[in-house]
Amino acid sequence: MNRVLTLYRNAYGGLSRPAWMLALVMFINRSGAMVVPFLSVYLTEALGFSLKQVGLALSAFGLGSMCGSFLGGWLTDRVGHFRVQFFSLIVGGSLFFVLLQLKSFLPFVGGLFILSLVTECLRPANSSSVAFYAKPENLTRAFSLNRMAINLGFSIGPAIGGLLATVSYRLLFMADGITCILAGLFFYVYFNARKGFQPKSHPKKTAKKSTLSPYQDWPYLIFAFLCTCFAVVFFQFFTTLPLYYRQVYVLSEAHIGTLLGLNGFIVFLFEMILVYLIGQRISYTRLIVTGILLNGFSFILLNLAFGQLILFVAMVLLSMAEIFAMPFMATITVNRSNDYNRGAYMGLYSLSYSAAHILAPYLGTSIVANYGFTTLWWLAGIFSVLTAIGFWVVTPKLITR
């Protein structure tokens, strides 16, 4: 037990106080992440939308996310990450109360687009803040700390959301809005006029810096495209997987929330430790490729056996995929940029995930509607293998040893 405690102490040690406070902001925000995990179930059961309408609505959410990522990166380089984050949290939180009033298809889709656009501005600004407030030698661990807080919040949000949904779906929107606003207020109080660190490259293993716009950096553009490919599979977690739980296993909202929350809890427990133990011992390429292959296998596993134990094992594998891939993708992006184009690079990185938010629900629901869940899970596995090959070729071009 003492050795385990020492390991955790070393993994979390040396991080700056602002990095911890930034993680606390994200924890408050993500503790209220109750709407998105249950959105597909809410649209089908509470509003009576068809599966095709659900796919279009979730794709509108992804389109707003994509536009928000671009806008957030652009604004971060011009008005600063502090203002963008504060605006996104306060206004985004307020928009949840507006969306709650929209019941018909077109107004709801429009409201969901605007909500996503505003809230997604947070991502590139938040990533720039992590780089700004982290000690240079702890950059990857600072990103992992932030993700740990997000995932701890996400382990709580869906679990509580599942309980609230059994009472009323209105409570999900209200809780999400309130926690966003609270996170914004806390962020303003602590970070207003606070100074940070100047990011530097890690001496042993880092990314080759670019002085170009990310949209002129061809190796990074390919890298960002591959991130989208990875996320198209991973984001079935938010779209078709809850529907699979509901329609195939007939699970309750509370049970679905518990399974989805397990992802955040696993990442919270193990990401910082694994990043600390292997982040500088194993190449980023190998770690990312391992994560992508685990991502695909977690969905294939759903076809290989039936039972709630399989759902648990598949979620564990999906969580490990996230741990192995995502922290190092973000680190490569930060180290590839410089002080003048970091917002644009983080915006493009967020944009790659936002594009997946458009493609993942549309492709996933379309495949399920026409061919069923089994076909979707096989295709997710095959696509993951192809994506892993792409990362194996491209990632070394972005990294120096």
d(CA 364, CA 240): 6
In degrees rounded to 5, what are phi and psi of residue 282?
-120, 140
Q: Which residues contact 31 (CB under 8 A, 6 or more apart)?
A: 153, 156, 157, 160, 179
CA 264 to mean position of chain CA atoms: 11
Fold match flag (17-192 vs 214-400)? yes
Q: Which residues contact 269 (CB under 8 A, 6 or more apart)?
A: none
Nearest to 281 by CA among 191, 187, 204, 366: 204
Report which of 358, 344, 339 is spatially closest to residue 125, judged by C-alpha positions: 344
Q: From residue 371, how far is each of 49, 211, 235, 242 by CA, in Å?
A: 20, 46, 19, 18
Residue 153, both tokens: 């919040």
Q: Are 127 and 144 within 8 A, CB to CB?
A: no
Looking at the domain that runs over 214-400, which CATH code has it been given? 1.20.1250.20
Query: Within 13 Å of residue 161, how many CA atoms lie on the same side as its CB?
Result: 32
Q: What is the mean pLDDT of each run of 10 residues along the chain (401 residues)?
A: 64 75 84 77 86 87 83 85 91 92 92 91 83 74 77 77 83 89 91 63 49 80 95 91 91 86 83 75 89 96 92 94 88 78 78 84 90 96 97 85 40
Predicted confidence at residue 201, as pLDDT, reads: 45
Q: Counting beta carbons within 10 angstroms of the beta carbon of residue 393, is it exposed (0 to 12), middle (13 to 18) or buried (19 or more)?
A: exposed
Question: Residues 6 or more apart from 200 whose CB is under 8 A from it?
Answer: 136
Q: Which of 293, 266, 274, 309 shows the shortest CA–CA distance to 382? A: 293
Give the contacts of 125 (CB within 8 A, at least 6 positions apart).
72, 75, 76, 81, 82, 84, 85, 88, 343
Report yes or no: 271 and 147 within 8 Å, Cβ to Cβ: yes
CA 273 to chain centre: 19
Q: Where are the domains of the chain?
A: 17-192, 214-400
Global pTM exceeds 0.75? no
Both tokens of 81, joined, read 């990450």
Q: Which fold has domain 17-192?
A: Growth Hormone; Chain: A; (1.20.1250)
Buried b (16+ CB within 10 A) or exposed e, 172-205: bbbbbbebbbbbbbbbeeebeeeebbebebbeeb
In whole angstroms, how far apart are CA 239 and each of 20, 42, 206, 357, 363? 31, 11, 34, 9, 10
Query: Using an 8 Å Cβ cutoff, are 59 and 358 in contact?
Result: yes
Q: How far apart are CA 262 and CA 266, in angstroms?
A: 6
Phi/psi of residue 206, each to 5°? -150, -175
Sign of the CA dihedral 135, 141, 147, 149? negative
Q: DSSP class of residue 38?
A: G
Element (H, E) at 207: strand 206-207
Please state the separation of Cα 50 from the chain's center in Å.
Answer: 26
